[in-house]
Every structure is written in C-alpha cells, then in structure tokens.
C-alpha cells in the first residue's frame, strides 16, 4: 500500500531535492525505545496558553493507569518539521489565492533556523510542490504553483474511474503520504497543517489508516476548515467530523474560517501553539511492544486548565 501511494505522489515529479548540507549535519535526537514522549499544550478557561507549569502540575495515564513522569520540559526551541497540505479540488477554486497569500505569511512567521517545511497540494491527485526546505522564498514559489486539480466533471468525480474507484479529493491519501512517506524518518516535533473543506472522495486509504499513520509518525495535525459555500450552492456543505477525528486524536485542533476568524488569525494561532508546547517522557509500566494501541490522557491538577494532547500511541519497537 505504501509503495503504491508513494508512486502516486512522486512518479511524475522531478527528483526530490537533497537537504542542504547544513541541514544534513544537524545532530540526531536519539530516544530509547522504552521511553514514550508526548507533546501537549495547556490553556485556561479563556483559551489563553499556560506556559509556567512544572512536572508536579500534571499527571499522565496510559490505559487508565497513572505513569511516572521521567522528564518534563517546555519545547519552544526544538526544531519543527511541518507539512502544509492544501486542498485544490474544484470546490476550493475561489479560495486558493487567499490560501497562497496567508500561507506565505505563515511561513514567514513560523520558520526559524533548523525548522523545515514541505508543501503538498491535493485534489484528484496529490503533488509535492516543495520538498523539505527552510527557505520562505522556495515555499512561496511552491505556493505559486497551486492550481485546481479536479476530476473530470468539476466538483464531483468524473465518469472515468481510477483503478475501479472515482477520485475527487484524496484527503486521506494526502495525510497518509505526508505522515508515512515524508515525516516518518524525521525526529523532533512534527506537524501537518491541513487546509480543506473536509471532503474525501476516492482515497485509497480510509480515515482510520490515515490517522494510524499520523500516530505512528508522532505527527500533530492542525486542520483549517475552509469552505466556499458558493461551491455548494449556499447549503449542503460538508461537516468537519473527519477533520476533528484527525486533529483531536493526534493532539491538534480544528480551526474554522469565518467572517470573524480569518485565515491569517488562524495561522497566527497555530504558530503560537507550536511555540507553547510542553514535552513529557515516561517509561510505560506495560513494557510489551506488541503493536497495540495504548490510550493516553494527560490531566492538569488544576481543574480549570484544559490539556490538548494526542489520545494514544502504537506500542511498537520503533516508538
């Protein structure tokens, strides 16, 4: 499955760019296989980030059993590797220019030395527009290549199926590819930022498989729910249920663009969150590495605080 999906993304593209020498020489972060690391953020009742907590202020539970925290830090400087995935299906055509402008500003704000980003567009097919780079200029050039990529017939899939299945907006495939083919071998903090109206039509992988790939890569998904209501005749637009599952299960959040909450404001909120995270590590009491999914819950001892963290991990030897 992974090889098939990877070929969809890369077969028609020029050779991937090698990472610059200075990026290749970055020190590797080594993690013992028995250690579980969890990134999380904490907000108060008004939604403001809390940045002064200590290890004694939180508890971590695995499958309902409290674990002993081995380390606890604020992660403001650990490099971030992120992928921006932009929906360019027919229903997003009138939004692309605004997405291009706001994303360029986002990269200017968020990228710091040693951070890396890549850019994927997806519609009826997925395309890598810019491989790993820390250059805003190169990312902007990639954003300038955003074009509508719709199946025959416009908004809906065309009459000619692809391998027995019509392909309209391969949202789940794009998430799977970003996690499994791009972020899997990376270390440090990893994030996927997804701009879409939440429709999936024709992906070869299911929601569950896309979510599993993000969990196994330890990537946080931030979804930007951006709908052009005119594309749906002013009614009948899709909901954001799938985006909530992808984001909330991995420790991220869904942001909805509307008249009061612009795309610029959302990108600013995402970059603030990525710089307001904590990291804790523990040795799980259950030492089995059987590949099973283990449920996680982080609780703040102050009941007025809300913790945002991934809901679990797969207990594999590569964790």
DSSP 180-236: IIIITT--SEEEEEEEE-S--BS-SS-HHHHHHHHHHHT-EEEEEE---GGGGTTS-
- Which residue carries 């490099």 as its tokens? 79
Taken in order of first residue, the domains within the chain and their CATH numbers are 36-76+277-314 (no CATH), 78-274 (3.40.50.410)
Question: Which residues touch 283 (CB under 8 Å, ≥6 apart)?
Answer: 34, 35, 36, 67, 68, 70
pLDDT by 10s per residue, the chain, length 319:
443 444 445 444 444 444 444 444 433 333 344 899 999 999 999 999 999 999 999 999 999 999 999 999 998 778 999 999 999 999 999 999 999 999 999 999 999 999 999 999 999 999 999 999 999 999 999 999 999 987 644 333 333 333 444 567 999 999 999 999 999 989 889 999 999 999 999 999 999 999 999 999 999 999 999 999 888 876 677 889 999 999 999 999 999 999 999 999 999 999 999 989 999 999 999 999 899 999 999 999 999 999 999 999 999 875 4
Helix (H, G, I), strand (E, B) or coil at 108: helix
Among 86, 110, 81, 89, CA closest to 98 = 86
Q: How many CB atoms lie within 10 A of CB 143?
A: 22
């Amino acid at each position: 499955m992974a090889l098939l999906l990877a070929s969809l993304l890369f077969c028609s593209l020029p050779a991937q760019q090698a990472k610059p020498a200075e990026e290749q020489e970055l020190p590797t972060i080594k993690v013992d296989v028995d250690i579980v690391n969890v990134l999380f953020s904490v907000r108060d009742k008004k939604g403001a980030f809390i940045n002064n907590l200590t290890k004694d202020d939180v508890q971590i539970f695995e499958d309902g059993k409290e674990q002993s925290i081995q380390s606890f830090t604020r992660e403001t400087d650990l490099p971030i590797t992120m992928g921006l995935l932009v929906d360019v299906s027919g229903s997003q055509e009138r939004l692309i220019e605004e997405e291009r402008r706001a994303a360029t500003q986002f990269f200017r704000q968020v990228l710091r030395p040693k951070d890396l980003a890549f850019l994927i567009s997806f519609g009826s097919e997925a395309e890598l527009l810019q491989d790993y780079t820390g250059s805003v200029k190169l990312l902007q050039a990639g954003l300038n290549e955003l074009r509508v990529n719709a199946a025959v017939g416009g908004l809906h899939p065309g009459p000619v199926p692809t391998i027995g299945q019509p392909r309209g907006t391969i949202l789940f495939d794009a998430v799977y590819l970003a996690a499994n083919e791009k972020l899997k071998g990376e270390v440090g903090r990893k994030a996927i930022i997804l701009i879409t109206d939440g429709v999936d039509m024709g992906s070869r992988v299911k929601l569950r498989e896309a979510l599993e790939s993000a969990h196994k890569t330890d990537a946080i998904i931030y979804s930007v729910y951006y709908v052009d209501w005119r594309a749906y005749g002013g009614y009948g637009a899709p909901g954001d249920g799938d985006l909530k599952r992808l984001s909330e299960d991995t420790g991220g959040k869904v942001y909805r663009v509307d008249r009061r909450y612009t795309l610029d404001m959302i990108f600013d909120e995402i970059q603030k969150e990525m710089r307001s995270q904590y990291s804790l590590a523990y040795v799980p009491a259950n030492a089995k590495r059987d590949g099973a999914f283990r449920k996680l819950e982080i609780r703040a001892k102050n009941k007025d605080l809300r913790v945002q963290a991934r809901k679990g991990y797969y207990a594999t030897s590569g964790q």
